[in-house]
Amino acid sequence: MSSEYLPGLAGVPATKSNISSIDGEQGILAYRGYEIKELAEKSNFEETALLLLDGHLPSQAELDDFDCQLRAERRVKYKIRSIMKNLPPSGHPMEMLQTAVASLGMFYGGEEVLSDGISGNDIDYIHRMSVKIISRMATIVAMWEHIRNGYDAYEPRDDLSHAANFLYMLHGKEPDPLAVKIMDACLVLHAEHTINASTFAALVCSSTLASPFLVIAAAIGTLAGPLHGGANQRVVQMLEEIGRPENAKAWVEKQLAARKVVWGMGHREYKTKDPRATVLQKLMMEWGESQGTLSKQFETALALEEVCEEVLGPKGVYPNVDYYSGILYTEMGIAPDQFTPIFAVSRVAGWLAHWREQLSDNRIFRPTQIYTGEDIRSYVDIAQR
C-alpha cells in the first residue's frame, strides 16, 4: 500500500458511489446518469431530490407522495425559533444554520440517533429523516432573513412547491413565476457534486453513526468556507470592486500580477466551463430579458469572463457554478450572505443521498498520517527548561 502523502487527498478515492459523476474534460455532470443540463430544464427540485435519494426517476405517484411529505414537514417548533431569536443578528447565516440544524435532533429526538441496533438498510428510517431535514432546512434559512431584522418569520405554506414556498417565506409575498422557475433550477443545479469537501465531511460523520442532523451540521460547517460554498458571495464582492465592464481587463491583469484569486473562476474537476455555470448564465439572460435590461453587474461579469477566457482559458480555467449564481440571487433581491445557505438548502439532498449510501455498507473512516514531529524524548521538569 502506498504511503505517499497527497495534499488535500488530491485524486485519492475515498469511497465508491453511484450517485453522481463528473467528466471534467467534456464538462458533464450527471446525477444517477442523467445530465444536469437536462435535469435543470425538465425536472424540479422535488423530483431531483428523490432521484438522488432513491436512485431512479420516480413515478407520478411516488413524486406526489414525496411532495406531500415535504410540505407536511415545513414547520419547526417554536423553541427552535427561540434559539434563532437569541443568536446575534450580525452573525453569518451559515453559523446560524449549522446551530439550528444541529439542534433539530434534540427537538425531534429519540429515533434520530443511530446505533448498532438500527440497520443501515432501514430505508423507512432513512427516508423519514431525509424528508424532515430537507424540508426544514429551507424553512430555517428563510426564517432567518426576518428574525435577524427583528421581525416574526412568515409561516410556511403547503399550497406551494419547495422553491415557491422558500421564496414566499424569504420575501413575504407571492413569488414571481419566473423567479420560482429560476430558484427551482438553481436548487437542482446545486443538489449534488460527487465527493466534494462538504460531502466528504458528511461521509466521515456518517461513518461514526452520528445523528443525521449532526451529519448535515458537519457538512454545513464545511460548505461555509470561501474555498467551497462561500465563493459565490466573494464573486459579487469582486464584481462590485471592478465596477464597470470596461474595467475588467485592467482588474484581471492587476489581480494575476499580484497572484490573487479571480473568484468563481476554475474548478478542480473541470477543464472546461462548468456545465452548471452555462445553465445559470442562460437563466441570467432570461431574467434580464424579463426585466427589460441587463444589470451593470451582469454586464461586468460577461466582460470579465471574456477577459478570463483569453488569459486563463488556455490553462483550463473557466467559470464555475459560483460565478453566476451569486449575480442571479442578487438580481432576485437576495442578500449576499444568504447565497451559501441557499446552496446548503439544495446540497442537503446530495448529502443525505451519500448518508444513505454510507450506511448501506458502513465502515468508520480512519485515515493514517505521516508523522513529522520529534522522536521519543524525556519529559523535562519546568525548573530545568
Structure-model confidence comparison of residues 10 and 263, the more confident one: 263
Topology, domain 20-225+336-360: Citrate Synthase; domain 1 (1.10.580)
Give the span between the Cα atoms of 311 and 321, in whole angstroms: 19
Do 139 and 156 touch, CB atoms closer than 8 A? Answer: yes
pLDDT band at 143 (very low <50, low <70, confident <90, very high): very high
Which of 267, 337, 361, 375 does the annotation list as catalytic?
Answer: 267
Tens-place pLDDT, residues 166-193 = 999 999 999 999 999 999 999 999 999 9
Instruction: State the span(s) of the chain assigned CATH 1.10.580.10.
Output: 20-225+336-360
- Is 162 assigned a catalytic role? no
Strand partners, 23: 28
What is this structure's pTM?
Answer: 0.92
Tens-place pLDDT, residues 97-128 = 999 999 998 887 655 556 655 556 688 889 99
Least reliable range by pLDDT among 34-38, 83-87, 255-259: 255-259
3-state DSSP of 179-218: HHHHHHHHHHHCCCCCCCHHHHHHHHHHHCCCCHHHHHHH
Look at residue 267 in the predicted model and tell me its pLDDT: 83
Element (H, E) at 322: helix 321-331
Look at residue 2 in the predicted model and tell me its pLDDT: 56
CATH 1.10.230.10 fits 231-331, yes or no: yes
Helix axes 321-331, 231-242, angle to 10 degrees: 70
In terms of Cβ atoms closer than 10 Å to its own Cβ (0-12, 13-18, 19+), residue 45 is buried
Look at residue 227 in the predicted model and tell me its pLDDT: 77
Q: What is the mean pLDDT of residues 30-59?
A: 97
Residues 6+ positions from 18 with CB-CB distance below 8 Å: 32, 55, 357
DSSP state of 155: P
Structure-model confidence comparison of residues 261 and 221, the more confident one: 221
Which of 184, 274, 322, 354 does the annotation list as catalytic?
Answer: 322
What order of strands is seen across the sheet that includes strand 34-35?
Answer: 20-23, 28-31, 34-35
Do 349 and 53 touch, CB atoms closer than 8 A? Answer: yes
Length of the chain in terms of residues written: 385
Backbone φ/ψ region at 43: left (φ over 0), alpha (ψ -120 to 50), beta: beta
Do 67 and 91 touch, CB atoms closer than 8 A? Answer: no
Return the C-alpha cell found at 141: 434559512
Structure-model confidence comparison of residues 259 and 2, the more confident one: 259
Say yes or no to pLDDT of 49 above 90. Answer: yes
Give the span between the Cα atoms of 299 and 321, in whole angstroms: 17
Look at residue 11 in the predicted model and tell me its pLDDT: 79
For residue 30, which of 55, 187, 39 has the smallest C-alpha distance?
39
Strand partners, 22: 29
Instruction: State the span(s) of the chain assigned CATH 1.10.230.10.
Output: 231-331
- Is 56 assigned a catalytic role? no
